Amino acid sequence: MRIVIASDLHANWEALAVLPREYDQLWILGNLVNYGPNPAEVVDFVRQHATHAVKGNHDYAAAFREDAHCQGRFRELADLTGRFTETALQAAQTKFLRDIPLQLELEVGRTRFWLCHAIPSDPLFGYAPADSEKWQEECSHLPVDIVLVGHTHTQFIRKVGNCLIVNPGSLGQPDNRSGLACYAVWEAGQISLCSTVYDVGTTVAKVQALPIPQMARQDLVTLLRTGRLAESSVPDAQATISAR
């Protein structure tokens, strides 16, 4: 069994295009939309190809016209691109986002998985990086072997007790300073973190054509190319990474 796992696609079609197609199942850990230029195309791909998906904070915001709970410059970027997303999605696509479950418990062979976007106790908005002490409590009550999460845009694998926590990173807005699309693969009982180049230039050109203010477009381009906001845009860019 080969399972490809991706999170935080953020309406980036070019990044989605390089995701491996050789799999038995495709699992998506949320945030199909916002920040990127192709929300409708990405939603349709997930509708057609994903075996399982869970809802992210931006999917929730787009589906229910609610706050994505971002902070700093990310809040403005989410609001601006969220308006674009609302106009780009058709009713059936919005309904799909609305109907995606918050969490899933799955079993493949003898391996038990827990899927959510953020953290099990707060699947939409909670935040826990790899070294967070929260993971001890988060995993202590879950009857699973592997917890799959996204949200932080940072790849990591961490062992807590008998539970393995895996974040595949972001496919569409990677937080790796190199613009490499990130994902994970589970095969033959082993999980691997992966990354690959994609056509960032085409995505950048599409972002630069979005009907949003020029400063916001430039912030999004900087995020695509570096994984960070420019220091001139926010006093402490690293501090706001958690609030995407």
Domains, the chain, in order of start with CATH, read 2-243 (3.60.21.10)
180 in Cβ contact with 196 (< 8 Å): yes
CA 127 – CA 197 distance, rounded (Å) = 27
Per-residue pLDDT of the chain (244 residues; tens, 9 = 90+): 999 999 999 999 999 999 999 999 999 999 999 999 999 999 999 999 999 999 999 999 999 999 999 988 999 999 999 999 999 999 999 999 999 999 999 999 999 999 999 999 999 999 999 999 999 999 988 999 999 999 999 999 999 999 999 999 999 999 877 789 999 999 999 999 999 999 999 999 999 999 999 999 999 999 999 998 886 544 444 444 546 8
Q: How many residues does the chain have?
A: 244
- In this prediction, residue 235 carries a pLDDT of 46
- In this prediction, residue 230 carries a pLDDT of 80
Task: Label residue 177 exposed, middle or buried (CB < 10 Å: 0-12, 13-18, 19+).
Answer: exposed
Pick the closest to residue 62 from 100, 19, 119 (CA basis).
Answer: 100
CA 22 – CA 14 distance, rounded (Å) = 18
- In this prediction, residue 237 carries a pLDDT of 42
- Both tokens of residue 20? 């491996």
- In this prediction, residue 239 carries a pLDDT of 42
